[in-house]
C-alpha cells in the first residue's frame, strides 16, 4: 500500500451553490495537510489528505472518508479535523463522536 492511511475531503460545489465545498471543506483539507506535514506523518508509507469531488453523502456534509478502513466522518471546525487526524490517522483510533 502506498499510503498507510488516506483521508479524502469532499470539496464539491454544486450548481446551486450547495455542497461540502461551499461549507468549509477546502480549508479543512488544507489544514489537515499542513498538520500532517508538521508532525512528519505526510507522504509515501505514511498518511495523505486529498480533495475529492462529490462523495455522495451531501445530507451529512461536510464529509471526509478515511481509507483503507472506509470510515466516514462529518466535522464542524478545525478542532474536529485535528482530532480526526491525531486520533484516527496517526493513532489508529476511530473518533466515534464524528463518525457517520
Residue 35: per-residue pLDDT: 94
Q: Which residues contact 3 (CB under 8 A, 6 or more apart)?
A: 44, 45, 46, 47, 48
Beta-ladder partners of 33: none
Q: Taking the domains of the chain in order of start, what are their residue ranges? A: 5-98
Q: Which of 57, 54, 63 is nearest to 15 (CA)?
A: 54
The band of 13, judged by pLDDT with boundaries at 50, 70 and 90, is: confident
Cell numbers for 32: 489537515
Model confidence pLDDT, tens digit, residues 35-69: 999 999 999 999 999 999 999 998 888 999 999 99
Fold of 5-98: Glutaredoxin (3.40.30)
Amino acid at each position: 500500500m502506498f499510503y498507510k492511511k488516506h483521508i479524502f475531503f469532499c470539496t464539491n460545489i454544486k450548481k446551486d451553490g450547495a455542497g461540502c465545498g461551499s461549507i468549509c471543506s477546502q480549508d479543512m483539507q488544507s489544514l489537515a495537510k499542513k498538520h500532517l506535514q508538521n508532525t512528519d506523518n505526510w507522504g509515501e508509507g505514511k498518511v495523505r489528505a486529498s480533495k475529492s469531488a462529490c462523495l455522495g453523502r451531501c445530507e451529512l456534509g461536510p464529509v471526509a472518508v478515511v481509507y483503507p478502513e472506509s470510515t466516514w466522518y462529518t466535522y464542524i471546525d478545525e478542532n474536529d479535523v485535528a482530532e480526526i487526524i491525531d486520533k484516527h490517522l496517526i493513532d489508529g483510533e476511530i473518533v466515534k463522536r464524528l463518525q457517520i
